């Protein structure tokens, strides 16, 4: 009775099922609600690639907000958000555990522990959403304040996603906007608002069925929610269908050959097999004059040789090219200095004379994968166990630099992880005509990771309005046009070559390239201000009565 009395402080949903759920949640203990949030977060992870069970968001996010309403302290609200976030990140990032399989000094279960640790840290962001939400709703909202609650939730969650993508080097993986990755048309709005803005739209759409049932299907408000839901989805699709071209426009004098040898990760780094792997690349890259191939592209660290310091191997590449052409490839670059050896994860272009036509060093490195953050160096040093951090680390490059080479439109290079950062993939002072993404998704296994990584590449193409050429050692190699459409690809765990002309960029760029996240911040601010105004206005009327 006490629990029901607390619930009666709220105008109950008109839908009987939703009303029963509200009563049922009010009678649960803290740990039971926390478990529900954890399960809800785990289910929400299946809305992302490659599953795309988007309808689960219509259940999971409203459940989390209802649990926020039941929180009586900031600590409880934080725990509910943290539990949801942990479940979502753990399931969504479980592919990372596969990378530890290739570490001889890490036990089989070490990867799962690492994913759990990362998920626990990332879950702080949803936890803070719970804290902020309760600042606005210390009391359970009345029926008229439910819309305000949804607006505040959407604004806070969307801003938390943006923070996750920027703070502490950022990790914008599985943002809500990516759940529409199954449809080229539904993704097109990212050319206006970016993937963060699309994520806010996804959240609003996810809450509309909840509001529809809350107000009742036969009420005006319920009907309006249904109309907004159908109109929102229809509008997104109609805009995308209108924007997508009937056919991709290509640059006919630039024909690329992408090489995906599908070499096992163990064999790739085996010193005894490096020569064979190199010869394999050379053999797969040989062209016939009638094929018209102008440039050959190899993936990240395709050649485990210091090509900038080994002209003999460059001459072997030149001999394969013949009288014309160029190879663009990833390789490890090394320099000896006063402080020892420095090494970079790099890109090199080698022309038909064996000369170096361009270099780029990866600048946005993977924390704990390619380098150890300074804080952990200091911490482990104070503990006297710094040797536990491992051996040689990669050095960061100077940043984005547009490459200018004969026979190619200007282009930017992104190595693996660098492609996942919205609005941070090009040299803004010297805008390229296309992007080259070199990667090796063998680390990710064959489950969700490669598909999620590939999707993010497609969305970058839509946001920037420029094509992306993606070359993977194994993974998904593809030619992606300026609308994020895949015009040719080599599937995951397949060996082969892909010959394709280079697509053209969109002249003038996109709205997103000019304003970046300004529209997204307007959306977030509108949600928060709208929620505050609705909340304050309803409270004022209630107090006056």
Query: Would you say residue 4 lies in a domain?
Result: no
Which secondary structure element, helix H or strand E, spans residue 152, and what is its range?
helix 146-164
Asked which of 140, 155, 176 is the last residue of a domain, the reply is 140
Angle at 411 (CA atoms; ends 448, 514), nearest 5 degrees: 85
What is the residue range of 73's domain? 17-140
Answer yes or no: do 482 and 534 share one domain: no
Catalytic residue among 161, 225, 268, 300: 300
Residue 217 preceded by cis peptide, ω within 30: no
Q: Dihedral angle at the C-alpha atoms of 515, 516, 518, 519, nearest 10 degrees?
A: 90
- 378 in any annotated domain: no
419 lies in the same domain as 472 = yes
Residue 361 contacts residue 333 (beta carbons within 8 Å): yes
Question: For this structure, is 300 an active site residue?
Answer: yes
Q: Is 527 a catalytic residue?
A: no
Is 113 contained in some domain? yes
Residues 266 and 195 in one domain: no
Report residue 83: phi and psi, to 5°: -60, -45
User: 37, 67, 416, 535: which one is catalytic?
Assistant: 416
The answer to whether residues 152 and 527 touch, using CB atoms and an 8 Å cutoff, is yes
Helix (H) or strand (E) holding 184: helix 184-187
Sheet holding 468-472: strands in order across?
A: 411-415, 434-439, 468-472, 477-480, 486-490
Q: What is the pLDDT of residue 231?
A: 98
List the one residue out of 506, 446, 433 whose CA is nearest residue 474: 446
Nearest to 207 by CA among 24, 63, 15: 63
Query: What is the predicted pLDDT for the residue at 445?
Result: 81
Q: How many CA atoms lie within 13 A of 299 on its CB side?
A: 26
| pLDDT in the model for residue 245 | 95
Coil, strand or helix at 389: helix
Cβ–Cβ under 8 Å, residues 233 and 54: no
Per DSSP (E only), the strands in 190-339 are: 250-260, 295-297, 326-337
Looking at the DSSP bridge assignments, the partners of residue 349 are 328, 358
Q: Give domain status of residue 375, yes or no.
A: no
Q: The CATH number of the domain where 315 resides is what?
A: 3.60.110.10
- Total count of domains within the chain: 3
Tell which of 112, 140, 168 closes a domain: 140
State which of 75, 110, 140 marks the end of a domain.
140
Predicted confidence at residue 308, as pLDDT, reads 95
Residue 386 within a domain: no
pLDDT at res. 323: 87
Residue reference for tokens 């949030």:
37
Q: Where is 94: in which H helix or E strand? A: none
Say if residue 229 is in the same domain as residue 162. Answer: yes
Indicate whether 409 and 284 sit together in one domain.
yes
**158 Rama class: left (phi>0) / alpha (psi -120 to 50) / beta:** alpha
Q: Are residues 346 and 470 in the same domain?
A: yes
Q: Which residues contact 82 (CB under 8 A, 6 or more apart)?
A: 123, 124, 126, 127, 130
Q: Is 416 a catalytic residue?
A: yes
Neighbours of 380 (CB within 10 A): 15
Residues 309 and 167 in one domain: no
**DSSP-based three-state secondary structure for 529:** helix
- Residues 419 and 498 occupy one common structural domain: yes
Residues 116 and 148 in one domain: no
CB atoms within 10 A of CB 313: 19
User: By the 8 A CB rule, do 25 and 75 touch?
Assistant: no
User: For residue 148, is it within any domain?
Assistant: yes
CB contact at 8 A, 394 and 362: yes
Candidates 67, 161, 362, 418; catalytic one: 362
Phi, psi of 487 (to 5 degrees): -100, -5
Q: Are residues 348 and 442 in the same domain?
A: yes
Domain match, 180 and 258 both:
no
| Claim to verify: residue 217 and residue 280 sit in the same structural domain | no
| Alpha carbon distances (Å) from 424 to 356, 411, 427 | 27, 15, 8
In a domain, 311, yes or no: yes
User: Within the chain, which residues score under 70 in pLDDT?
Assistant: 1-12, 102-106, 108, 138-144, 374-392, 537-545
DSSP 308-365: GG-HHHHHHHHHHHTTS-EEEEEEEEEEEETTEEEEEEEEEEEETTS-EEEEEE--SP
In a domain, 377, yes or no: no
User: How distant, in Å, are the alpha carbons of 36, 111, 394 from that of 105?
Assistant: 36, 12, 19
């Amino acid at each position: 009775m006490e629990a029901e009395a607390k619930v009666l402080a709220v105008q109950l949903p008109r839908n009987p099922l939703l009303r029963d759920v509200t009563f049922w949640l009010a009678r649960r203990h803290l740990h039971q609600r926390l478990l529900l949030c954890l399960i809800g977060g785990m289910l929400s992870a299946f809305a992302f690639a490659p599953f795309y069970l988007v309808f689960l968001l219509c259940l999971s996010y409203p459940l989390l907000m209802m649990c926020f309403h039941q929180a009586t302290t900031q600590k409880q609200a934080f725990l509910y958000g943290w539990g949801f976030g942990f479940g979502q990140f753990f399931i969504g990032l479980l592919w990372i555990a596969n990378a530890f399989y290739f570490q001889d000094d890490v036990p089989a279960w070490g990867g799962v522990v690492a994913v759990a640790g990362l998920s626990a840290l990332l879950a702080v962001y949803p936890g803070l959403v719970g804290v902020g939400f309760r600042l606005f709703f210390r009391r359970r909202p009345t029926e008229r304040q439910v819309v305000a609650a949804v607006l505040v939730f959407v604004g806070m969650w969307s801003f938390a996603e943006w923070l996750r993508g920027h703070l502490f080097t950022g990790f914008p993986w599985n943002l809500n906007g990516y759940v529409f990755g199954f449809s080229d048309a539904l993704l097109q709005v990212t050319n206006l608002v970016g993937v963060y803005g699309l994520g806010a739209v996804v959240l609003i759409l996810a809450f509309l069925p909840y509001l529809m049932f809350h107000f009742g299907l036969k009420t005006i408000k319920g009907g309006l929610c249904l109309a907004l839901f159908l109109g929102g989805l229809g509008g997104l699709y109609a805009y995308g269908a209108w924007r997508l071209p009937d056919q991709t426009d290509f640059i006919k004098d630039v024909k690329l050959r992408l090489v995906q040898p599908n070499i096992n990760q163990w064999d790739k780094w085996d010193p005894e097999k490096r020569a064979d792997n190199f010869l394999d690349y050379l053999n797969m890259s040989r062209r016939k004059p009638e094929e018209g191939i102008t440039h050959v592209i190899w993936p990240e660290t395709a050649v485990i040789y210091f090509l900038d310091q080994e002209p003999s191997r460059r001459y072997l590449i030149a001999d394969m090219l013949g009288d014309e052409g160029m190879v663009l490839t990833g390789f490890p670059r090394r320099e000896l200095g006063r402080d020892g050896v420095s090494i970079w994860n790099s890109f090199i272009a080698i022309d038909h004379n064996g000369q170096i036509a361009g270099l780029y060093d990866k600048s946005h490195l993977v924390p704990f994968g390619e380098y150890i953050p300074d804080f952990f160096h200091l911490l482990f040093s104070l503990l006297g166990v710094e040797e536990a951090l491992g051996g040689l680390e990669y050095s960061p490059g100077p940043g984005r630099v547009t490459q200018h080479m004969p026979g190619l439109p200007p282009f930017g290079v992104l190595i693996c992880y660098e492609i996942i950062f919205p609005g941070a993939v090009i040299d803004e002072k010297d805008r390229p005509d296309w992007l080259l993404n070199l990667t090796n998704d063998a680390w990710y296994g064959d489950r969700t990771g490669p598909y999620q990584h590939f999707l993010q590449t497609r969305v970058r193409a839509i946001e920037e309005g420029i094509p992306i050429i993606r070359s993977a050692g194994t993974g998904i190699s593809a030619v992606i046009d300026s609308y994020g459409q895949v015009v040719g690809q080599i599937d995951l765990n397949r060996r082969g070559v892909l010959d394709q002309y280079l697509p053209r960029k969109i002249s003038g760029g996109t709205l997103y390239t000019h304003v970046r996240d300004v529209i997204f911040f307007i959306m977030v601010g509108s949600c928060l201000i709208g929620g505050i105004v609705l909340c304050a206005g309803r409270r004022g009327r209630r107090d006056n009565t």
